[in-house]
Structure 1
Amino acid sequence: MNASRLGFHPQRVSDGSAVIGGAMWLAIVVGGPFRRLELLLLLAPLVLVPLLLGMIPAEGGREASSRWYWCAVLGQPIGALLVTASFALDHGVLAGMLIVPWGAVTLSMALWGLERLLPRGLEPLSELSIDAGLLYITVGSCWLLISRLGMNPLGFGDPIVFFTGIHFHYAGFVLPLLAGIAGRALSNGVWRRIYTFSVVTIVFGPGLIAAGITLSPLVEVVAVTALTVGVVAFALVTLLAIVPSRTNRFQQAALTVSSLAIAASMVFAFGYGLSEFLGRTLAGLQIGTMVAFHGHLNALGFALCGAVGWRVAVPASYSVCHAPFSSLTADGRVGADYLERNGIVGPLSPSGQMDDLAAYDRPDFDSGAVHPAIRTFYEHTAEYELRYKATWHPGFRTGARLAKRLTMRIEQLDLPVGANSQRTDSQIVDIDDSVDGRTGVRAWIRTDTETGNAVFVAAYATHKHDGETYMNIGLPLPWCNLSALLWMDTIETDVDSAGIRLSSRTRDEQGNEGLYLITPHLPVRLPMCEDFRVWPASVDAPQAPTTLRTDDTALVAQHEMWLFGQQFLTIQYAIEHVGSTNESPESKRRS
């Protein structure tokens, strides 16, 4: 569903719903039969949820066309209205059934959050915070449903069940979203580091508090303490770094009130949590006091003022990667005959991973500075033979041995586990662009010289993003593929010409680089990165490998990979020029 094509604009729809919901909420406050806590809860679905939903997508961004996003935006008014109707009834089946549509709305929000999170990964933290809020609110709707049904799971009374529902609508949803939106407006520096700490506690704090309520008072008080410190830190960052950077006076005033309110609110929450842990009341902090101070400060002071304040001028959103990915997949096996077996060989006869290294030129990268031997390798890859040695780092060797059984079977990414070096032949084959989905695609097929089995089958192409050309590699796997988007740079050597570096490491700017698992439904950014460096064999660079060099070695290379920041694999290469042919490995062996 693409409601924007029907003339709906997400921010206008959400703003309209928030205005109507605000009028309804005020009418209920004046003449409705609801208690104070119920009124504070109703403020979230009627006003805060639509107001915040409209601020998340980038202006004109693709994520605003997500079917899950539009299910949430268009379903929110109905769900909020039925939640309000539920509180006009006594606890029971009918009151609970009226909550179900709101549960469907929050489920759509959670699915949209996953749709945002998986292709982007855990960074930046501002967007992770927003995604956490979109996921947490589903927990709030579940507890709200349980409360309205009149159920008391785990022996909890209705107040605790209802408070948990409110907790996940405010601390679980509104707080992470406002923290995420604020983070978009914060530049790098010391305040950014404090913000990082605060967001980590905001993202994980609500879940830990809920676990503490269920499992242990000690866990609860530790979680409340951590969240209190984190939220107060966030309030300070907003007051001292973000508010002065905004130019609208109304926005400055609203964000100031919001920050002061949440700081004061968390002091009450900490005092109440400590009272519960010690088993005695401190400074008169009983449940009634919590409702009167903590609840109102959170809902009206922090949440409402913060949402209205940010709506005046919404910071630009992080751009999710929308690079063209290969659509190639395999059945149970890849193998050296993958292209022929699937009938996707193209009509051209390329000889290298790329036609011209100059395609990667940009203001800070000049292909003319690259050593001629490296350029020849990339433009005429089929003329080279590779000897390589893979080193699995401690902690990953057992996993590598287990993975070896699978990679041998599917003949893809079949790296050795032992200490011996191996040799591969190279073949470059054109691929039918209409099957792959990208343009200028060619496969680099590397086969073991002794066995003829495929070691590496990858489809190479390029794409541009913000004026920069990326190497775009797709490796077919059973029913999915592994895609690598790499930026290129030069590395200094002890001669006039430079070496080359290809990397998926994230840089400061919003680039496309990364490793992705491409599934039938959406790309999933993996918590992995890689660096590939190539030097002329004649240079003495500090990181250039030496163990495999011989008199015939033209180039040396080193490939390093990390998982969650931990290096798990290093591959060293010696690259030799063997002739100007592009024969298949089978033909080479026959000759």
Structure 2
Amino acid sequence: MMNKWHLVSSLFFMCCFITTRLMTGPVAELFVLIAMLFFLPAILSFLSKEERERKPGVLIGILMKAFPLAALCATAAFIYHSALFATGWFLYTLLLALYGFTRLLKRGIFPLHELMTGGAWMYIALGGLWFWLYTADIQVMTFSPIIVLLTAIHFHYSAFFIPLFYGLLGRQREKETALYKSAGWVILLSPVMIAVGISFSRLFDTFSVMLYVIALYLYGILCMKTRFRSTVAKGLIVFSSCALMGTILLSLLYSAGMLMRVSYISIDQMIWFHGSINAFFVILPGLIGWLIEGPKDQLKQKDFPISRVHGRFHLISFQKERMGDRENLGLVDSLDDLNGTTFSAERVSPVIRRFYENPMAFTLKAAVCFHWWVRPFVFLLQPIFKKIGQLYLGTSRMPYEMKGRLTTFQHPKEGRKNVRAWNRYNEKGEQVFLHFMLIITMRLRAI
């Protein structure tokens, strides 16, 4: 799970906290610190190991190395009730949220389980914010300090781990069914809906909690029906989901009591029962179960070839000494090279085939027209476009012939083969744009 340095530092900081604050501070502080020092770094280590098998990112490495310092700040913030130390943990959660956002940028928001795992990291930043508000003794609306602390716990526990667990469940399943997607969207949006309900409408809060309860029961049922490689892992995960089914009823009971102004369960009871059950009977066994199972990432590696040649500012400098001309150079040498079971060059229109095999035989004319509100920006950016030799289209609406030249491209860093560059010029001989293309000979498959 965690590496040895993380584990040792977490145990040390936990001992410091217990000896100095447990007898005097709210017990809820202990629960949030457990999430900070143990649960969160465990799942972070799991994802770090997963990313090392792919292309490792810089941010995940920074997060792993910065954890002991962030854990020190979190512990010291509780011991001294210091907003200054809490700022360190808050900044760390912002980096975690940035990590989740970059995951979504690289992977996309679909399938849904990718959005669940990426979105969970963004919620943790809200936990860091509420933690800072608690230590800074800042009054938030009419909330008491203990409510602010419980909100920090909420975003460090259910708002973070439940979407994360649900995303891992999506990896484990063969297909994302409509039932899985419906419950997933409710789980993902419920932290925001419940927060809005608590702040502005008790009725909406109760309604949101009821939807959340239904979604979590569906999560438990899906866990039971999903196949696992490890029997132990499935047992722990199903036990965790069943415990969650029970503890979420306490939340519904508390929300209904607040709506009807009847005290079914007190705050202190919520902290002890709801908090302890969530920590030790929901998150802990669920986390261990998912770490044992280690559901494989279903994201397919994109093997689209990317050039290792990069320009800084002036793209036209690429072609001065590194491009060689060849007569009758085409976008492809011959469409016949692409023949396969699902593609036949003979079925392609002769005009299209001629264009791909000899594009220089065609004439390109352009008439540029911008919307009125874009024209001032285009006018200001024209010197830059001219300098880099890209998008230098001009602003005249009069049609003009855009002459071109198709060349091969060689460079010591360019590991790809058959790279060609298509250069286009205006009537003055100024470069309008430059395309780099990779000609791949392959068998086309049906999509």
TM range, normalised to the smaller chain?
Answer: 0.7 to 0.9
Structure holding more strand per residue? 1
Secondary structure in 2 matching 1:430: strand
Name the CA shift for 1:385/1:146 in 2 (closer, same or farther; >3 Å): same
- For 1:313 and 1:227, locate their aligned partners in 2 and report how far apart those are by CA, in whole Å: 26
> In 2 relative to 1, CA 112–100 (structure 1 residues): closer, same or farther, beyond 3 Å?
same
- Give 1:47 shift: 1.1
Residue 258 of structure 1: which of 240, 254, 260 is its match?
A: 240
Report the residue type matching 1:109 in the other structure: L
The corresponding residue for 2:68 is 77
Q: Deviations for 1:33-90, whole angstroms, at most 9, x for unmatched residues? A: 3543122111111111111112224364345x3222122112223322442343233x
Closer/same/farther in 2, CA of residues 359 and 251 from structure 1, 3 Å limit: farther
Q: Is residue 191 of structure 2 the alignment partner of residue 206 of structure 1?
A: yes
Q: Which has the higher helix share?
A: 2
- Listed as ranges, the matches of 1:239-254 within 5 Å are 239-240=224-225, 242=226, 245-254=227-236
**C-alpha distance in 2, partners of 1:344/1:185?**
52
CA-CA distance at 1:351 after TM superposition: 2.1
Q: Verify: 1:169 aligned to 2:156, yes or no.
A: yes
The secondary structure found in structure 1 opposite 2:294 is coil
Judge conservation of contact 1:261–1:302 (CA < 8 Å) in 2. yes
Specify the SS of the correspondent of 1:168: helix
CA distance in 1, matches of 2:377, 2:418: 31
- Residue aligned with 1:98, SS: helix
Q: Relative to 1, partners in 2 of residues 1:313 and 1:215: Cα closer, same or farther, differing over 3 Å?
A: same
Partners of 1:401 and 1:319 lie apart in 2 by 43
Structure 2 unaligned segments of length 5 or more: list them: none
1:280 maps to 261
Pair 1:109 & 2:96 matched? yes
Aligned-pair distance for 1:308? 0.4
Q: Which runs of 5+ in 1 are unaligned?
A: 1-10, 391-396, 470-487, 491-506, 508-591
Residues 359, 179 of structure 1: CA spacing in aligned structure 2 closer, same or farther, 3 A cutoff?
A: farther
Seen in structure 2, the aligned counterparts of structure 1 residues 38 and 433 have a Cα distance that, compared at 3 Å, is same
* Equivalent residue for 1:355, pick from 310, 333, 358: 333
Find the aligned partners of 1:345 and 1:404 in 2 and give their Cα distance.
Answer: 35
| Alignment check: 8 A CA contact 2:51 2:57 kept | no
- The match for 2:169 among 182, 188, 195 is 182
Equivalences for residues 92-241 of structure 1 within 5 A: 95-188=82-175, 192-240=177-225
2:284 to 288, 292, 304: 304
- Partners of 1:290 and 1:308 lie apart in 2 by 25
Amino acid of the structure 2 residue aligned with 1:138: A
Deviation at 1:429, TM superposition (A): 3.4
- Which of 428, 437, 446 is equivalent to 1:460? 437
Structure 2 residue identity aligned to 1:17:
H
Is 1:344–1:431's contact at 8 Å kept on the other side of the alignment?
no
Residues 440-499 of structure 1: CA distance to partner in whole angstroms, max 9, x if unpaired?
A: 332335678x999988753212579xxx78xxxxxxxxxxxxxxxxxx656xxxxxxxxx
Alignment-mate amino acid for residue 107 of structure 2 = R
Deviation at 1:413, TM superposition (A): 10
Measured against aligned partners, the alpha-carbon deviations of 1:392-423 in whole angstroms (never above 9, x if no partner) come to: xxxxx9x977557767955739799x9xx999
Q: Name the aligned partner's letter for residue 78 of structure 1.
A: L
Q: Is contact 1:82–1:102 with CA below 8 Å preserved after alignment?
A: yes
1:412 aligns with 2:391: yes
Change (3 A) 1:463 1:41: farther
Q: Is 2:53 aligned against 1:61?
A: yes
**Which residue of 1 is the match for residue 419 of structure 2?**
441
> Residue deviations 1:259-291, cap 9 Å, x none?
112222323223322332x24126x13323322
Evaluate the alpha carbon distance shift between residue 455 and residue 219 of structure 1 in structure 2; reply closer, same or farther with a 3 A threshold. Answer: farther
Counterparts of residues 485-524 of structure 1 (less than 5 Å): none
Scaled by the length of structure 1, what TM-score is found?
0.61
Q: Letter of the aligned partner of 2:161 in structure 1? A: V
Q: Is the 8 A contact 2:134 2:145 kept in 1?
A: yes
Q: Is the 8 A contact 2:408 2:419 kept in 1?
A: yes
Letter in 2 for 1:353: L
Mapping of residues 361-372 of structure 1, within 5 Å: 365-366=342-343, 371=348
Distance change >3 Å, CA 354–CA 231, structure 1 → 2: farther
Q: How far has the Cα of 1:175 moved from its partner?
A: 1.8
Secondary structure of 1:443's match?
A: strand
Please report how far the alpha carbon of residue 105 of structure 1 lies from its aligned counterpart in structure 2 after TM superposition: 2.7
Report what 2:323 is aligned to. Answer: 346
Mapped partners of 2:122, 2:393: distance in 1: 38
Q: Is the 8 A contact 2:112 2:167 kept in 1?
A: yes
Q: For residues 307 and 265 of structure 1, what CA distance do their matches in structure 2 show?
A: 17
1:87 alignment counterpart: 78
Distance 1:158 1:115, change over 3 A: same
Over 3 Å counting, the alpha-carbon distance change for 1:433 and 1:355 in structure 2 is farther
Aligned residues: 431
Scaled by the length of structure 2, what TM-score is found? 0.79
Q: Percent identical across equivalent pairs?
A: 24
Partner of 1:316: 296
Residue aligned with 2:422, SS = strand
Pairwise CA RMSD: 4.3
Question: For residues 100 and 309 of structure 1, what CA distance do their matches in structure 2 show?
Answer: 32
Moved more, 376-385 or 257-266: 376-385
Return the alpha-carbon distance in structure 2 between the equivalents of residues 403 and 295 of structure 1. Answer: 55
